[in-house]
Structure 1
């Protein structure tokens, strides 16, 4: 007789973090269709061609990375789960990554012409530095060990996304594109939970390794950070040199690379702290939203899963 199929029992929890994460993610469920993006059109019309180009490319890049996470990332992580509830949580994360990817298309549909949208997606499919990081992470998802896959996932969610997040957060800090930024804050809130949860699962496995195995994996991990950051420097120069924000974005990236390492239970690598990041961007992360009824489109926040103030503690359970 074949092995018995086991129903998932949420009344018998092996790991309390699974249940807590499931509840957190379902409480903060949201959809892009409830954000009135058209309210940002006045701001958009006043922005320069260089700014339009930047916004299009950063969101094109984020669309590609969220697609990678939803189509390959979570599938690879589900191959090595500790509990049935963990797979349920990863299913939730997989769906929300698809919501994130779709959200950028809603932004494009509101702000851009069809020709501009086609140009943005063509750029995302061919840009050397964007494709490098996507292919690097995807190769680990398909060929890495279970713990290496978790490292790649945390680096993607807590580090590599942030070269794109900088732009809407900067504009939010200057009271521009507020509804676009609302979506980004909702995505940020999700990613902070995703990164800490997968980082926690990594630490459980890491702590079971021998000292030699831990040392080898840490060397691999820090080599990967250096490689990804080197590529991210080139990507950031490509996107931000024209508008003059490059060095500020790189500081933000180093800060979030440290956050990714901390999610994995490791020591930070770079000297950059929150105090070194552009205060306008940090204020943008910390700005709360106005609430409204989930079933109306009045206002730009949610009562169901309110956007909360982001802080360093959001990166930890």
Structure 2
């Protein structure tokens, strides 16, 4: 079995301030943002902090009046998708904190602390929007979906497996696999749900909820961008794990995740007016391609390198970006390709 990582020490003054490694390295625990191993991560930290918002800042008064006027199909999808999003976001707070416990680079610890706080706000926001439009009984039923809905359970099976495996066996390989699923979660699994709320908004329905979702979406874009960078940097520091077998593992799990997300989307959005399921399938594949590029890999769906749902770009901030063939690089070659090394659009 691979060597298990020890939790990073809180303070160890005998070690250097600049970390010698992201995981399994040495550092004093003292964070000097002007002397970190990956200097451009300070800009990522600043962007994350700049996104601060609170759930109850969003005015839900119009949504309260509109929810009963939605079709039964729209109401059902609304509640199921909130249940999905809460199922995905709730463990992200803990996962970010767990990664930080084993990170021996204090800049990673700080960035993960911000991500964890934002994921907690996201989960609070789902409770907030539901409490605005439905009874407590309906709220609880929506939050139970993650434990009971068979389609959702099937869809989340691998997330459960690999997140829990990291807890049980904290190795660098399991951290990398957790980062793969975190990247999928932040960059693809949310997006059919986001699209549903944006579709309502473009028909002037539930605009308060859509505004909340756009804030969450903006955060998730930043999270996904950092997770992609952390994955690439960790792999570069551990070239023994940079194997064709592991690369294929990533591709296989992306493809399987696309199939599961497509199945979920058909299940939850099949009867919703204004949603084209073929277009949604293309959008899911497009998002998978984008996350693979962020992780330094090539697209697996070459016919979906452009966004097939152009209208969705109006609802969230966008990023410019470039592709880096990071799997071919060594740790010493790790350089920032641009200040906005991330998403070019949704």
TM-score tier by shorter-chain length is: 0.7 to 0.9
Partner SS for 1:276: coil
Q: Confirm or deny: 8 A CA contact 1:41 1:111 kept in the other structure.
A: yes
- For 2:278, the equivalent position in structure 1 comes to 247
Q: Distance in 2 between matches of 1:18 and 1:312?
A: 17
Partner SS for 1:105: helix
Q: 1:150 aligns with which of 176, 179, 188?
A: 179
Q: Which runs of 5+ in 1 are unaligned?
A: 286-308
Residue 194 of structure 1 and its aligned partner are, at CA, apart by 0.6
- For 1:37, the equivalent position in structure 2 comes to 60
Partner SS for 1:125: helix
Residue 22 of structure 1 and its aligned partner are, at CA, apart by 1.3
**1:294-309 correspondence to structure 2 within 5 Å:** 309=317
Decide which moves more: 136-145 or 178-187.
136-145
Residue 127 of structure 1 and its aligned partner are, at CA, apart by 1.3
Equivalent pairs counted in the alignment come to 291
For residues 252-310 of structure 1, give each alpha carbon's deviation from its aligned partner in whole angstroms, at most 9, with x where no partner exists.
21111111111111111122244422x3333334xxxxxxxxxxxxxxxxxxxxxxx32
Q: Confirm or deny: 8 A CA contact 1:261 1:268 kept in the other structure.
A: yes
**1:1-317 correspondence to structure 2 within 5 Å:** 3-4=12-13, 6-71=29-94, 73-144=95-166, 145-210=174-239, 213-243=242-272, 245=275, 246-270=277-301, 271-277=303-309, 279-285=310-316, 309-311=317-319, 313=321, 316=342
Partner SS for 1:16: coil
Partner SS for 2:151: helix
Q: Confirm or deny: 8 A CA contact 2:286 2:307 kept in the other structure.
A: no
Counterparts in 2 of 1:76 and 1:219: CA distance versus 1, 3 Å: farther
Q: Distance in 2 between matches of 1:11 and 1:210?
A: 27
Counterparts in 2 of 1:119 and 1:196: CA distance versus 1, 3 Å: same
More helix by share: 1
Residue 96 of structure 1 and its aligned partner are, at CA, apart by 0.5
Q: Give the TM-score of the pair, scaled to structure 2.
A: 0.77
Q: Distance in 1 between matches of 2:304 and 2:75?
A: 29
Decide which moves more: 230-239 or 218-227.
230-239
Q: Distance in 2 between matches of 1:315 and 1:129?
A: 35
Q: Distance in 1 between matches of 2:165 and 2:57?
A: 39
Residue 82 of structure 1 and its aligned partner are, at CA, apart by 4.9
Divergent runs of 4+, >6 A = none
- For 1:295, the equivalent position in structure 2 comes to none
Counterparts in 2 of 1:315 and 1:212: CA distance versus 1, 3 Å: closer
Counterparts in 2 of 1:26 and 1:311: CA distance versus 1, 3 Å: closer
Counterparts in 2 of 1:102 and 1:117: CA distance versus 1, 3 Å: same
Q: Which runs of 5+ in 2 are unaligned?
A: 1-10, 14-27, 167-173, 322-339
CA RMSD of aligned residues (A): 2.3
Partner SS for 1:269: coil
Q: Confirm or deny: 8 A CA contact 2:186 2:224 kept in the other structure.
A: yes
Q: Give the TM-score of the pair, scaled to structure 1.
A: 0.84
Residue 174 of structure 1 and its aligned partner are, at CA, apart by 2.1
Partner SS for 2:242: helix
Q: Confirm or deny: 8 A CA contact 2:293 2:299 kept in the other structure.
A: yes
Residue 160 of structure 1 and its aligned partner are, at CA, apart by 0.8
